[in-house]
Amino acid sequence: EAQVTQNPRYLITVTGKKLTVTCSQNMNHEYMSWYRQDPGLGLRQIYYSMNVEVTDKGDVPEGYKVSRKEKRNFPLILESPSPNQTSLYFCASSLIDPGGHYGYTFGSGTRLTVV
C-alpha cells in the first residue's frame, strides 16, 4: 500500500530533550515536506526537500532541523524542544511536476506535547 508513515503518533517530552520524528514513504517520491498544524493557523510548512541531500526552509523553520540522506526518509529533529513547539505535525510527499498537478500524500500525524 502506498503510504507515508510517521512515528511516533503521540509524544510527550520535556523542554530541552532532543527528539526525532521519523517519516518514511514507499512511493519513490522526490519531494517531502514537514508541516505543523495549529488551531486557527492551518498548516504551516517547516522544511521541505526536493531530493536526496537537498533541503530548504519553509515558513516556520526556527527550532527544527531535517535531513534527507535517503530518498524514502525525511526525519524531523528538535534539538531543544520548547513548549511553543507543542503541535500536530504532518509529513507529506509527492512527485515533482512542473505543472503543479500532483497532490500530496500525508502521514497520519504526530501529536507532540512539550512540557
Partner 1 sequence: GDSVTQMEGPVTLSEEAFLTINCTYTATGYPSLFWYVQYPGEGLQLLLKATKADDKGSNKGFEATYRKETTSFHLEKGSVQVSDSAVYFCALSDRREGNNNDMRFGAGTRLTVKP
Q: Does 4 bind partner 1 (CB under 8 A)?
A: yes
Q: Which is nearer to partner 1, 16 or 102 (CB)?
A: 102
Q: Residue 17 — left, alpha, or beta (φ > 0 → left; ψ -120 to 50 → alpha)?
A: beta
The partner residues of 70 in beta bridges, in order of sequence, read none
Q: Contact 47/66 with Cβ under 8 angstroms? A: yes
> What is the smallest separation between the CB atom of 1 and partner 1, expressed in angstroms?
14
Q: Does 107 bind partner 1 (CB under 8 A)?
A: yes
Q: Does 10 bind partner 1 (CB under 8 A)?
A: no
Binder to partner 1 among 1, 62, 69, 99 (CB under 8 A)? 99
Strands 110-114 and 42-51: unpaired
Q: Cell for 21?
A: 520524528
Question: Taking CB under 8 A as the criterion, which residues in 15-74 touch partner 1?
Answer: 31, 33, 40-43, 45, 48, 50, 56
Burial class (CB in 10 A: 0-12, 13-18, 19+), 9: exposed
In degrees, rounded to 5, the angle at the alpha carbon of residue 87 between the alpha carbons of residues 108 and 79 is: 100
> What is the smallest separation between the CB atom of 17 and partner 1, expressed in angstroms?
26
Binding residues for partner 1, rule: CB under 8 A, are 4, 31, 33, 40-43, 45, 48, 50, 56, 90, 92, 94, 96-101, 103-109
